[in-house]
Amino acid sequence: MLNKHSSVIKWVWGIIFCMVLVMFMLESGTETDRTAYAAGARVCVDGKMIVFTDQQPVIDSNGRILVPIRFPAQELGAKVNWLTETRQVKVENKNHLTLPDSDILLTIGKKEVTVNEKTRVMDTKAVVMGERTMVPLRFISEFMGAAVKWEGNAKIAFIFTRGQTVEEIKQIMMEKSAVSPTPVDKVKNIKILMYHEVAPLPKYATENTQYLYVEPAIFQQHLDILKKNGYNTITLQDLYHHWEYGKNLPANPIVLTFDDGYRSMYDFVMPELMKRDMVATFFIITDKFNHPGYVNESMVREMHKNGMEIASHSHTHCDLRYADLKEELNQSKKLLENIIDDTVYSFCYPYGLYNKKTINYLAQCEYKIAVTTKYGEASVNQNIYELKRIRINRGDQINVR
């Protein structure tokens, strides 16, 4: 009987010991994660200082800089995919003007990486920090064919992708290392107003379409109210550059957006904006060029020259969840860029309909920012491709609070 009780006691103590050991290991592991990384590193690509708006670069215990996985995509032009089931990151760099084609596959927590089907071993590894996947900057950049230089005194990692000469590299490093970064107090939330047609309500308007119209006189009142209350209009492109690179914005910024590319945008809206030294972002349906009631190519070109942002609203204004994305997203972007001879940054989802595949393709087409029809203020914490807007319907008054 005593032996039986003794066995039970040993079993219980064994369980307790294991539980304590596991808890100790978890606590030790957590402490290691908290202390293994140091902040303060900065990144410069071809002479441009990069501003990271959320997760900042960190230095791991091996002295290697880790950056968010979106860095290779946005700054080096690569296509980046996260493979959830295998916890892998696939980086493809194709058709770069100066860098060679590369195909990289790395696994979270492992030093082995596949580069163009050959196994390489890094001296550090990719990790997940919070909700961000962090990858080794030097290895990703060098595997893609870029030159990487580290300036220890200024704590700046320099990435060169254009085949710069030794003298050019020295000049850039000297100039940027001597400049102290000026912190920018970023706008956290901003109102993005959504307009459609600015015109008298036509007789053929239906119950479902009449809300799209804002009377011209009411629209003029809206602009005057904004001016009177100290608001300054910016474009979505301005907002992207502010959040991503720290571009300064005027006090009390607000974004005005106009969907569909109606003729009234050119005939009435643009002149009223220009009278008040205002700008706006216009989402154009490229299949509607030369259709009655819509802007044509020459109008779009003039709007751009007058400081308005020209953006895409797809090619045919269809449900992008089931559409030919190459035509709807890529073709519309290229058409507009050829017209204005400038880069198209922004996109608006027709009917507010999209899915994850749509967002991924937007990034592949190098759109930088996109808006939805979801109601509310846009926030730096929202997905840059899912910003909220405030719809302005017929009869609405501007709330400036």
One DSSP character per residue, 266-294 reads IIIIHHHHHHTT---EEEE-GGGTTSTTB
Query: Sign (positive/negative) of CA torsion 265, 270, 276, 280?
Result: positive
CATH class of the structural domain 189-391: alpha beta
pLDDT of residue 316: 96
Question: What pLDDT score does 96 carry?
Answer: 67
- pLDDT on residue 4: 47
Which of the four CATH numbers 3.40.50.720, 3.30.457.10, 3.40.50.880, 3.40.50.2300 does domain 42-177 have? 3.30.457.10
Q: In angstroms, rounded to a whole number, what is the distance separating the alpha carbons of residues 28 and 25? A: 5
Q: What is the pLDDT of residue 164?
A: 80
Provide the residue type at 76 as one letter: L
Position 26 scores a pLDDT of 34
Residues in the chain with pLDDT < 70?
Answer: 1-40, 53-54, 95-97, 179-184, 207, 395-401
pTM above threshold 0.75 = no
- Residue 53: the pLDDT is 63
The pLDDT score that the predictor gives to residue 399 is: 63
Q: What is the pLDDT of residues 192-243, one digit of tens each?
A: 999 999 999 877 877 677 778 999 999 999 999 999 999 999 999 999 988 8
The continuous run of DSSP H or E covering 132 comes out as strand 132-136
Closest CA to 321 of 349, 350, 354, 347: 354
- Tell me the backbone φ, ψ of residue 130, rounded to 5 degrees: 65, -120
Where are the CATH 3.30.457.10 domain residues in the chain? Answer: 42-177
What does the alpha-carbon distance between residue 123 and residue 142 come to, in Å, rounded to a whole number?
14
Q: Return d(Cα 248, Cα 346) in angstroms, integer.
A: 19
Q: Say which residue the tokens 């400049």 belong to.
A: 179
Say which amino acid occupies 303. M
Q: What is the pLDDT of residue 6?
A: 52
Measured in degrees and rounded to the nearest 5, phi and psi for residue 370 equal -145, 150
Q: Mind listing the pLDDT tens digit for each residue in 73-117?
A: 777 778 888 888 888 888 888 766 677 888 899 899 898 999 998
Q: What is the mean pLDDT of the chain?
A: 84
- Chain centroid to CA 52: how far? 11
Tell me where in the chain the CATH 3.20.20.370 domain(s) lie.
189-391
